[in-house]
Amino acid sequence: MADCNDPDATVDPMEAALRRCASGHGAEAATPIRVFPFDSRRKRMSVVVEHDGVAAVEVKGAPEAVLPCCGGWDGPTGRQPLDASAAAQVSGAVEALAARGLRVLALASRPAATPPDDATSAEDGLCLHGLVALIDPLRPEVPAAVRECHAAGITVHVITGDHGRTAAEIARQAGISAERIVAGATIDSMGDAELDALLAEPGEIVFSRSTPEGKLRIAEALRHRGEIVAMTGDGVNDAPALHHADLGIAMGRSGTDVAREAATMVLTDDNFATIVTAVREGRRAYENLRKFVLYIFAHAVPEVVPFMVFALSAGAVPLPLTVLQILAIDLGTETLPALALGRERAEPDVMRRRPRPRREHLITPRLLARAWLLMGTVSAALTMSLFLAVLVAGGWHPGAAMGAGSTLHHVWRQATTTTFAAIVACQVGTAFAARTERASLRSIGVVSNRLLLLGIGFELLFAAVVVWLPPAQRLVGTASPPSWAVAALLPLPVIVWGVDELQRAARRRHDVPTSTVRERDRHGRMVPAR
């Protein structure tokens, strides 16, 4: 047996391992005359070589593909006919090796008086020399990556050209359910409806001795069922399946140029665990985009409600915000915290959630309800309450004149400034609340997003300049609010964040605990972990 993960194997690890094995047994390199490359249907390859002026055909491939081409074999007493008893003995050895997770190849040859012109004539009348078993051990991080896939609701099917017993054992070691093994010939003989029914059954499947056409059909059948399909591959024949999958993943180190061109993503380290990392980062980026939208949408309500109150009261309630103050919010205080939410770390349960439905949009009814009906409404109620409180404390009554030159004009400027400051304070609470969709703020760390803290610091500094700096007051139309109103601003971030935190806590209690890692029963069905 040879280790296919030898770092010296720079081109094809299996070929390099075979060469080292042969040289270790005293074999010498021969000059190739003609090569009939590996074909996924023949499942073997052959090369015509010349030893000291004598031509010979040397063949290697899947045992079940090479044995029918052999008329004899190297038995204990020399070359013997390959009868049924000998073929059964060889097949038994293949099964035993494959059950240990070894990749088994059959080696055969024959002399060639004249170099054959095609693979069919070359691979006839062979003598079986023996079997070679290779091991391509799993990377140590793969089982953990597979468990993470299962927890994330991702089903992992194995599609390989290897023997079914070999693939099943490797799948078992990786933590993939291998109770169903389907041969490539079976897939090729199935109709589309039969294949759909096979894939609709729960659990994972090991597809052995698969053809490129079979791999493509599997990808298309899964997509037809509405699944989001990620397909890996490294060879030229994998290109159609990689192209038709939602996400084609090619191997960067061992893959062919054709596979890399057809793929959406290329793994530079050929590591399955990197795919899981990409899924985690993809989910994090998508959730952060939603957090950005949530934060922006939540502030629309406290900005719109003041104008609605002014319009519905027919001017009896003065305008709580000016246009320049709204611009100061949208272009000044809001920008940096919103951008900082895009750098938020992944939530603790991001890889323990089911995949999103294919038809789910970025902006969902739940997001709008949280932004507008919850945080937006609370922010609007708080800002309007402070606005009216400042007016009443200054002697205002409905319908009183508030224009320039009136005795209450300064009070109105104080009230609008308080509204501006209240919206900024609510923005701080919204920013902390928007950091998670389901998890508590404590679980991700209050100060873990340093960029958000810097953004909030800039936001508060900008607001202080607008509220208290005289040149900014003249430009934006603000006035220093009463000290009691400033003190009343302090609890606003906590109130907005606290209301949303209570909502998320209630959702965690009510929803199915998707954060709980789920296991598979003996039939491959997902069941809650014990």
What's the CATH code of the domain at 97? 3.40.1110.10
522 located within any domain: no
344 located within any domain: yes
Confidence of residue 344 (pLDDT cuts 50, 70, 90): very high
525 located within any domain: no
**Res. 3: pLDDT tops 80:** no
- The residue that leads in pLDDT, 448 or 2, is 448
Q: State the pTM of this model.
A: 0.79
Backbone angles phi, psi at 518, to 5 degrees: -110, 145
Which residues constitute the domain of residue 198? 142-276
Residues 112 and 171 in one domain: no
Residues 29 and 120 in one domain: yes
What span, in angstroms and rounded, lies between the C-alpha atoms of 164 and 103?
Answer: 10
Domain's final residue, options 76, 109, 135: 135
524 located within any domain: no
Do 280 and 151 contact (CB within 8 A), yes or no?
Answer: no
515 located within any domain: no
CATH value at residue 345: 1.20.1110.10
Do 245 and 228 contact (CB within 8 A), yes or no?
Answer: no
529 located within any domain: no
Residues 130 and 164 in one domain: no
Do 351 and 286 contact (CB within 8 A), yes or no?
Answer: no
Cα-based angle 449, 453, 457 (whole degrees, multiple of 5): 170
Mean pLDDT of the chain: 89
Residues 355 and 498 in one domain: yes
315 located within any domain: yes
pLDDT in tens, 174-230: 999 888 999 999 999 999 999 999 999 989 999 999 988 999 999 999 999 889 999
Residues 153 and 116 in one domain: no
Least confidently predicted of 4-8, 70-74, 317-321, 353-357: 4-8
Residue 378 identity: V
438 located within any domain: yes
* Sheet order of strands, 180-183 included: 158-159, 205-208, 180-183
Closest CA to 411 of 400, 433, 396, 429: 396
**Res. 248: pLDDT tops 50:** yes
